[in-house]
Amino acid sequence: MDIKDFRNGSMGKCIKTKHGYWSFIPSPLPPRLRYDLSMVNLLSEADRALGELAGVGRLLPNPHLLINPYIRREAVLSSRIEGTQASLSDLFIFEASPSEPTRGPDIQEVINYVKTLEYGLQRVKTLPLSLRLVREIHQELLTGVRGGYATPGEFRVTQNWIGPPGCTLDEAIFVPPAPTEMGDALGAWEKYLHSKPGEPPLLQCALMHYQFEAIHPFVDGNGRVGRLLITFFLCERGYLPQPLLYLSAYFEKQRDEYYRRLLMVSQRNDWRGWIEFYLRGVIEQSRDAIENAKKILDLQAKYRQALSVKSLPKATHAVLDDLFVNPFITIQRASQKWNMRYQTIQAAIERLVELGILQEVTQKRRHRMFRATELFNLISGETA
Per-residue H/E/C for 37-96 = HHHHHHHHHHHHHHHHHHHHHHHCCCCHHHHHHHHHHHHHHHHHHCCCCCCHHHHHHHHH
- The model carries a pTM of 0.90
- Looking at the DSSP assignment, which residues form a beta bridge with residue 329? 370
CA distance 303 to 357: 8
Exposed / middle / buried, residue 372 (Cβ in 10 Å: 0-12, 13-18, 19+)? buried
Helices (H), the chain: 37-59, 64-81, 88-96, 105-123, 131-142, 179-194, 201-215, 222-236, 248-253, 255-268, 271-308, 316-323, 331-338, 342-354, 373-380
Helix (H) or strand (E) holding 370: strand 369-371
Query: Domains in the chain, start-ordered, CATH in brackets?
Result: 3-291 (1.10.3290.10), 310-380 (1.10.10.10)
The pLDDT value recorded for residue 383 is 39
> Would the CA dihedral through 298, 113, 195, 263 be positive or negative?
negative
Contact 267, 274 (CB under 8 A): no
Longest dimension (CA), the chain: 78
Number of residues in the chain: 384
Per-residue pLDDT of the chain (384 residues; tens, 9 = 90+): 888 888 766 678 999 888 888 999 999 999 998 888 999 999 999 999 999 998 888 877 777 777 888 899 899 999 998 888 888 999 998 888 756 555 677 888 999 999 999 999 999 999 999 999 999 999 999 988 765 567 899 999 999 999 988 888 988 999 999 999 999 999 999 999 999 888 999 999 999 999 999 999 999 999 999 999 999 999 999 888 888 888 999 999 999 999 999 999 999 999 999 999 999 999 999 999 899 888 988 999 999 998 887 778 778 888 998 899 899 999 888 888 888 888 999 999 999 999 999 999 887 767 789 999 999 999 887 533
Q: List the one residue out of 211, 195, 239, 25 whose CA is nearest residue 134.
A: 211
The pLDDT value recorded for residue 350 is 92
CA distance 370 to 304: 19
CA distance 9 to 24: 10
Sheet holding 359-360, edge to edge: 328-330, 369-371, 359-360
Q: What is the Cα gyration radius of the chain? A: 23
Q: At residue 283, what is the residue type?
A: I
The pLDDT value recorded for residue 238 is 87
Contact 198, 38 (CB under 8 A): no
The pLDDT value recorded for residue 384 is 37
CA distance 146 to 131: 23
* DSSP secondary structure letters along 223-272: HHHHHHHHHHHHHHTTS-SS-----HHHHHHTHHHHHHHHHHHHHH--HH
